[in-house]
Amino acid sequence: MSQCELFVESVGYRYSGGHVAVSDLSLKLGPGILGLLGPNGAGKSTLMRILATLARPTSGKVTWNGADIAADPNPLRAALGYLPQDFGVYAALSAREFLAFLAAVKGLAGAAARERVDDCLSLVGLNDAADRRLGEFSGGMRQRVGIAQALLNDPALLIVDEPTVGLDPEERMRFRHLLTDLAGRRLVILSTHIVSDVEASATALAVMSGGRLRFHGTPEQLLAQADGHVWEWTLAPEQLAHVRQQFVVCASLRRPDGIRVRVVSAEPPHAEAQAVAPTLEDAYTRLLGTGAERH
């Protein structure tokens, strides 16, 4: 596999109507899994399209192993595997037929193409379903076909955009394990608004909101920022609405003795509140300053 260094330098993207989707964003990335987090509308998908050479930045530049991808996108395209958010399949084809078609599009042919299709089906655990029609596949199986097609050229850069939307919990867990297994010497960029998608697998995190980069570092560094800012206590049910108005409530759990609330706050929010160790979702919620309550 080739060298893999991706440098995003002061990149911005403005749509023709004037909306700024990405603003002055810089990242330096190498092998590992980058979890790109942010709410819907944060600019993640626009950034993914720029990195996949489907859109040109309106300011700044992106280099792949030192080469400007706007001036010459071919070196990156040759090393790229991409699973877009709206990945579609031909329902009448089998998984094997579909991948063989895409292998031909990517310039693979003959025995080498057949071998690579079989390898990719094996990597994503679809050997037994290889000759079934894609129209019969579950959402999780279709996403695995999407990963298989992205792996056909053994990419050094793998980009997956919101891959677990619509999947059930078991399929999401299987998908996360698959991405972890695929990392190795690759750079994998996983764009999502679901913190649990990156919690166990990401070696680095980048958090976007409003088109801007709010954080870039390790999960441990983001957790450290929230240390001492997460609190829990039990309150009466009628007090919950008032607490929600005053604080960012990360979670609330109804119990026999009342409602246990988990709050992000710089100071103790209540005389009975106890500081607790932050989760990654707590730290993400604190960074963005918005509620993400889970019931």
State the pLDDT confidence band at 199, using cuts at 50, 70 and 90.
confident
Do 281 and 190 belong together in one domain? no
Q: Which of the four pLDDT bands, split at 50, 70 and 90, describes residue 143?
A: confident
Mean of pLDDT values over 38-47 = 92
Q: Are residues 155 and 78 in the same domain?
A: yes
The domain boundary residue, chosen from 157, 184, 217 = 217
| Statement to judge: residues 160 and 262 lie in one domain | no
Whether residue 270 is found in the same domain as residue 188: no
Does 8 fall in a domain? Answer: no
Q: Which two tokens stand for residue 34?
A: 């980058």
Are residue 135 and residue 208 in the same domain, yes or no?
yes
CATH number at residue 211: 3.40.50.300
Cα gap 204→227, rounded to integer Å: 18
Place of tokens 């040109």: 56
What's the whole-model pTM score? Answer: 0.87
Q: H-type helices in the chain, by residue range?
A: 44-51, 74-78, 95-105, 110-123, 139-150, 169-182, 196-199, 219-226, 240-246, 280-288
Q: What is the mean pLDDT of residues 211-220?
A: 96
Structural domain containing residue 34 = 30-40+73-217
Q: What does residue 202 show for φ and ψ, rounded to 5 degrees?
A: -75, 135
171-186 confidence digits (pLDDT tens): 788 878 888 887 878 9
Same domain? For 36 and 171 the reply is: yes
**Predicted local distance difference test score (pLDDT) of residue 53:** 94
pLDDT at 295: 31
Backbone φ and ψ for 51, nearest 5 degrees, come out as -65, -25
Residue 102 has pLDDT above 70, yes or no: yes
Q: What is the arithmetic mean of pLDDT over 266-271?
A: 94
According to the model, what pLDDT value does residue 293 have? 43
pLDDT bracket for residue 290 (50, 70, 90): low
| Helix, strand and coil percent figures for the chain, each rounded to 5 | 35, 30, 35
Domain final residue pick, 217, 236, 260: 217
Picking from 116, 217, 153, the residue whose alpha carbon sits closest to that of residue 1 is 153
Q: Across residues 51-64, what is the average pLDDT?
A: 96
Instruction: Return all residues near 172 (Cβ < 8 A) that are at least 6 apart.
Output: 140, 164, 194, 196, 197
DSSP 8-state assignment for residue 277: P
185 shares its domain with 232: no
Q: Choose the final residue of a domain: 174, 199, 217.
A: 217
